[in-house]
Amino acid sequence: MEVIYGINPIKVLLRQQQTGLEKIIIASNRGGSFLKDLVEAARQKNIPVEFHPRQYLDELVGGNEHQGIAGLRPTFTYSSLDDLLINRSASSDFDLVLILDSIMDPQNLGAIIRTSYCLGANGVIIPVDRAAPVTAAVIKASAGSAEQLPVVRVTNLAQTIDYLKEKKFWIFGASAHEGGNLKEMDFNCNVALVLGGEAKGIRSLIKKKCDFLLSIPLGRNFDSLNVSVAAGIISYEIFSQRVRIKEGTKES
């Protein structure tokens, strides 16, 4: 059983046809105008709602910030690669997939999933080993978007990249100091964007699989950006370039 906590993640689940929630637990001293609507939404889906002292929720979520609300459901279900590939955003003529190589921080993973969802990515691919799985902390950091965007967990990233190449994807690897300028890249194609772990970046084997390496131009001499920030900057450049192309106003 998995504990989901925080207002937005619970709201997102309640908007889905199949929530998976077995019950919702609310702190007995929790106020707020949203509470009546949330309890009613749970009632309509036949989800039991229990009220407990806040200390009970503190213990339930292991001391994390829960905003006075939590839910219990079966463990997170990952999507298949095929589900991800058919999930192209209506705002684009091309696919965008983010491949995360050894991202260990749940907050970074959640932030990247949230950004990917907002900027029209098909989904996110993570490895089984040497990477953070999708947990309650990740779902909260994603503001619930991990429940709406396909997240695929694979045993072999290198083989997955080969498969994406067979599906006509070009593989772009983000690097702190190598590769071409992000602003000069052409994303008028199916893109798989590889982002490396917080400590060492993209592993050598995975880097060799990339068709292109790119870097973000910075205004000051600094080592590198946080990986979730880099994911947001690059994803937005891809998104905005595609919007300009689709509208026929791409800047020269």
Q: Are 157 and 126 in contact (CB under 8 A)?
A: no
Sign of the CA dihedral 77, 103, 191, 145? Answer: positive
Give the model confidence (pLDDT) of 117-154 as tens digits. Answer: 999 999 999 999 989 999 988 998 998 899 999 999 99
Asked whether residue 165 falls in the same domain as residue 226, the answer is: yes
Question: What pLDDT does residue 166 have?
Answer: 96
Asked whether residue 92 falls in the same domain as residue 198, the answer is: yes
Domain boundary among 40, 56, 73: 73
Contacts of residue 169, defined as CB under 8 A and 6 or more positions apart, other chains included, come to 95, 97, 189, 190, 191, 192
Angle at 84 between CA 79 and CA 85, to 5 degrees: 145
Asked whether residue 50 falls in the same domain as residue 105, the answer is: no
Give the model confidence (pLDDT) of 68-115 as tens digits. Answer: 999 998 889 999 999 999 998 877 889 999 999 999 999 999 999 999
For the chain, state the CA radius of gyration: 20
Angle at 129 between CA 8 and CA 238, to 5 degrees: 55
Asked whether residue 87 falls in the same domain as residue 64, the answer is: no
Asked whether residue 99 falls in the same domain as residue 209, the answer is: yes
| Residue of higher predicted confidence among 37 and 232 | 232
Domain boundary among 47, 73, 99: 73
Asked whether residue 145 falls in the same domain as residue 239, the answer is: yes
**CATH code of the domain containing 28:** 3.30.1330.30
Q: Is the pLDDT assigned to residue 252 strictly greater than 70? A: no
Residue 43's domain comprises: 2-73
Q: Which of 135, 130, 123 is nearest to 102 (CA)?
A: 130
According to DSSP H, which parts of the chain are helical?
A: 7-15, 34-44, 54-60, 81-85, 106-118, 136-141, 157-166, 204-209, 227-246
Q: Which residues face 127 on adjacent strands?
A: 154
How many domains is the chain built from?
Answer: 2
Asked whether residue 159 falls in the same domain as residue 205, the answer is: yes
Domain boundary among 15, 38, 73: 73
Give the model confidence (pLDDT) of 181-231 as tens digits. Answer: 999 999 999 999 999 998 889 999 999 999 999 999 988 877 778 999 999
